[in-house]
Structure 1
Amino acid sequence: MNANSGENGPLDGAVVAVAGAGGPAGRAAVLRLAEAGATVVAADADAGRLAESVDAARHAHGGATVTGDTVDLLDLAATRAWADRTEKEFGRIDGLVHLVGGWRGGPGFTETGLADWDVLEKLLIRTVQHTSLAFHEGLLRGDRGRFLLISAAGATKPTAGNAAYAAAKAAAEAWTLALADAFREAGGEEGPRAAAAILVVKALVHDAMRAERPNAKFAGFTDVTDLAEAIAGVWDRPAREVNGNRLWLTPEP
């Protein structure tokens, strides 16, 4: 569905923020959300990558509103300012898609570098904390608020060489589930109006990766376009159905 098609779907007219919009997954999500009729407010720490993502979505969907903000999500005040600015400018906020990523790993458990943890704690946990705290109230004020975390199956079944990464992802999942419980409490007997959910993949793949490694199989990997489709599809389901759930895009370990 194109933003100009005239067909009304659950994302038509919605305002969705995408954190980490400059990466391959972020770019695919921005494109798909714009296609579905959403106003997309994209953010990334890399201004160049962000501009490319925003321009691609605008070019693909001429009638879509897609904006870009260079935001340091490790700064809670800056993240709150981004959330407040978004709601003030567009009158509502219907989603935050967290696509800030990063990976560090090693050959085994005892080779784990604790410096890797320092990096991953910031990228994978702190940014989730800041975005969830900043957007919590705005998501509750709407009628279709969604907070979506993209996680990895390794958080559920860690391997020896991925201790830091899996632990960081698990912490981010726990934080997101706590947000889901807050949404449940706020909804009372009527059930949650907003939802926090976790989309779980084994790993992600995109065209540039395939071009770099033409003989690789990428078995079990989720293409970023399929992830973007799953992200958009969360708005097709009622909040009570997805709130507090892991939505598996790979077989559950």
Structure 2
Amino acid sequence: MNGNGNGNGALHGAVVAVAGAGGPAGRATLLRLAEAGAVVVAADADAARLAEAVDAARYAHGGATVTGDTVDLLDLAATREWAERTVKEFGRIDGLVHLVGGWRGSTSFPETDLADWDLLEKLLVKTVQHTSLAFHDGLLRSDRGRYLLISQSGATKPTANNAAYNAGKAAAEAWTLAMADSFRKAGGEAGPGAAAAILVIKALVHDAMRAERPNAKFAGFTDVTELAEAIAGVFDRPASDVNGQRLWLTPHP
């Protein structure tokens, strides 16, 4: 994608849901999808943050359809209802961008607090299970269906002080790759018509972080605008090229 937002690419007219849309990455993604001419359906557990993100995208791209729903993605029934409501309102669903995150770490491996795992398993794994199950069939019916998980390099190379976080991300990746296999099998000899892919980062950085730490290098970090550009770019690539793939936005460890 060249980022000029001419609205003629694969995202023009696409209906894309964004889970965890209220944070900096969510805001950047809503802006980029709206710029590309997509209908954007955003969800977050924090109603105030979500409203700010939706308003910013609408303001930046007048005429863009950007809606916001406060959805409890830890509730499978509520997540399914969100997916069904989206299809009923807009007639289709073409993408789900999964930005729900959370982090807990420890000073060393033996000092890992398993309460951190209890929390991260909900945020990093359950939400992926619920969105993937809720949106699978709709994405399969689309001519450009994409399920995009944002993951972290520690899922591939875990570190001692991030055992719970890395394990959660690894489980989320495995679940997403199982969804990709479902899309592959559904496509048969013609190849997959929909794709589930993983965008891998080391960490995210945005302007407010740079302002707080003007001397920091943020080496290997991905700017939220770069992530949003990469998300948009996946829709331009054939499903067979990206289905079941880890797309690295940071050096492979």
Taking only aligned residues, the RMSD between alpha carbons, in angstroms, comes to 0.9
Cα deviation for residue 107 of structure 1 reads 1.2
Distance, in Å, in 1 between the alignment partners of 2:83 and 2:108 is: 40
SS of alignment partner, residue 30 of structure 2 = helix
Equivalence for 1:121: 121
Q: How much has 1:214 moved relative to structure 2?
A: 1.8
Deviations 1:29-74 (A, max 9, x none): 0100000010000000000000000000000000210000000000
In structure 1, C-alpha distance between the alignment counterparts of 2:179 and 2:25, rounded to whole Å: 23
Helix, strand or coil for the counterpart of 1:89? helix
> Which residue does 2:132 correspond to in 1?
132
The match for 1:94 is 94
The 1-side partners of 2:98 and 2:76 are apart by: 15
Aligned AA (2:249): L
Asked if residue 74 in structure 1 is aligned to residue 74 in structure 2, the reply is yes
Q: Which runs of 5+ in 2 are unaligned?
A: none
The answer to whether the Cα contact below 8 Å between 1:2 and 1:61 also exists between their aligned partners in 2 is: no
Matched residue, 1:251: 251
Which residue does 1:219 correspond to in 2? 219
The alpha carbon displacement at 1:2 in A equals 6.6
- Distance (Å, rounded) in 1 between the aligned partners of 2:47 and 2:4: 27
Aligned to 1:148: 148
Q: Unmatched 5+ residue regions in structure 1?
A: none
Task: Give the distance between the partners of 1:186 and 1:221, measured in 2 at CA.
Answer: 36
Moved over 4 A (4+): none
Q: State the secondary structure of the residue aligned to 2:147.
A: strand
For residues 130-179 of structure 1, the C-alpha deviation after alignment (integer angstroms, 9 at most, x for no partner) is: 00000000001110000000000010001100000000000000000000
1:10-49 correspondence to structure 2 within 5 Å: 10-49=10-49
The residue type equivalent to 2:75 in the other structure is D
Partner residue, 1:241: 241
Report the Cα distance in structure 2 between the residues aligned to 1:45 and 1:211, rounded to whole angstroms. 27
Distance between the aligned counterparts of 2:167 and 2:48, measured in 1? 31
Deviation of the 1:207 alpha carbon: 1.1
What is the rounded CA distance, in whole Å, between the counterparts of 1:124 and 1:36 in structure 2? 28
Task: Give the corresponding residue for 2:186.
Answer: 186
Alpha-carbon distance in 1 for matches of 2:52, 2:82: 20
Number of residue pairs the alignment of both structures matches: 251
Give the Cα–Cα distance (whole angstroms) in 2 for the partners of residues 98 and 58 of structure 1. 21
The alpha carbon displacement at 1:11 in A equals 0.3
Q: Write the letter of the residue equivalent to 1:163.
A: A
Q: TM-score, normalised by structure 2?
A: 0.98
Percent identity for Structure 1 against Structure 2: 83
Letter in 2 for 1:33: L
| Paired residue type of 2:108 | G
